[in-house]
Amino acid sequence: MLTVQNFNQERNHTNLNLPPYIEVVLDEHIGLEGISPKDDQNNLASVLKDKYINLGFRVYGKSYSRDFRSIASFASFLNFKPIDNLKDYILHDDEEDRHILTQNALFETLSNKGYDINIIQSSYLDLCAKHKNFNLTKCITYKHTAPVPVNPVLSSSTKTIAILEQVFSKLRFDLSKIKKSKLWSMLHLPQSENQSILTPSTATYQAFNEVEKLAKTVQINNAYFIHLLLPHAPYVFNKNCDYIGERKNKTKAYFDQLECTHKLIGTLLKTLETNQNTKNSIIVIHGDHGSRIEEPDIRLNYKFTAENIVKNYSAFFMVKSPFSKPGYDQAALPLDFLLKNIFTKIEQPTPDNIKKTIYLRSGKDFDLGKRTMPNFSHGIVLSQGIEKV
């Protein structure tokens, strides 16, 4: 279920020979140093580090996000700074579960350099609606939730009903009565085994063909920004990307889906290699925040600990470009700084001269103010307590 928008904005690229800029955001991807060894049964952190260094990437093990919610985090890293007041950066369409980013320093920077911008996004977070300040060429949007024709990777309608039964049982509603109500018919649920409900992770898997198509058509003087809702919940894929449904052990399910995600990224990188235009490309792959397996919720009065801050805010980041050396970097740096540094080349950045501000907030649910990101290594918190800013 895709929407494709083409923008006919003719620009003069005479005398320009800009290397392709390719950025892939992997939703809910924890950083390598945020991974606890007890959770990492297959030693995935070490495997990924070695794999991508060998492919020429500079991998940042201790990178982190300013927020643990996607909308706020995108607003921050795409504008190269921590953001106190999100109202100036985001519009909400709650009826359609759609959120629009209204300011985008990254896209403006790319446009000022002469790039045409191509986007693949989910229907949840819209980066294309407000585009008057940047050179938007194409915008592909995939639905992040919807009933769709059956696909081998998706759940059956019976599984959908089972999930709903579980939800309603927790809400103490009589499901048999609800099935006969107008409410049930208005939900437009699958009517047979030939349909199923699309979730963020299955939607992304289904849309990955569009990512592959885009990779084959990468050209110089073009930038490509891709937001994938993987390894985002629900965690329904095994490490080989076979759909197996949700499981009780969420931690193992998350890491299996993380392996699946990198299997897809491996496919993408191989496709890019076959395209002669991608030589000398700038390739950035990163999370928007960490894993939310242990996210604070209302049952715990939204309590944050140093340990769950590391799991929620530690975010994957790596870059490959003619201007960066392959290797492993353990500097604790925020996503917004790392992205800005690709273009501005700030000399010798160190964690000591960066404000390590993070925000403990979640839309309308709560706002507990600002804190300092704890020091951490291999999933272990090295600093005591959570310092207020």
User: In this predicted model, what pLDDT tens digit does every residue of 177-213 receive, in sequence order?
Assistant: 555 555 545 454 444 444 456 789 999 999 999 999 9
Look at residue 128 in the predicted model and tell me its pLDDT. 97
Look at residue 9 in the predicted model and tell me its pLDDT. 67
Phi and psi at residue 113, in whole multiples of 5°? -80, -15
Residues of the chain with pLDDT under 50: 148-159, 161-163, 165-176, 184, 186, 188-195
Look at residue 342 in the predicted model and tell me its pLDDT. 92
Read off the pLDDT of residues 108-148 as tens digits, 9 standing for 90 and up: 999 999 999 999 999 999 999 998 899 999 999 999 886 54
Pick 2-155+198-381's CATH classification: 3.40.50.2300, 3.40.720.10, 3.40.1010.10, 3.40.50.300: 3.40.720.10
Exposure pattern of 13-26 as b/e (b: 16+ CB <10 Å)?
A: eeeeebbbbbbbbb
DSSP 8-state code for residue 61: T
Look at residue 292 in the predicted model and tell me its pLDDT. 87
Look at residue 294 in the predicted model and tell me its pLDDT. 81
- Residue 98: CB partners within 8 Å, gap ≥ 6? 92, 123, 124, 125, 126
From the centroid of its chain, how far is CA 310? 17
CA dist list (Å): 320 to 79, 185, 193, 327:
21, 50, 44, 10
Look at residue 354 in the predicted model and tell me its pLDDT. 81
Does residue 149 have a cis peptide bond before it, meaning omega lies within 30 degrees of 0? no
Domain residue ranges of the chain, discontinuous segments joined by +: 2-155+198-381, 157-192
DSSP 8-state code for residue 97: T
3-state secondary structure 99-149: EEECCCHHHHHHHHHCCEEEEEEECCEECCCCCCCCCEEEEEEECCCEEEE
3-state helix vs strand vs coil in the chain, percent to 5: 35, 25, 45
**200: nearest Cα among 162, 236, 247, 238:** 236
Q: Residue 126, class by beta-carbon neighbours within 10 Å (0-12 exposed, 13-18 middle, 19+ buried)?
A: buried
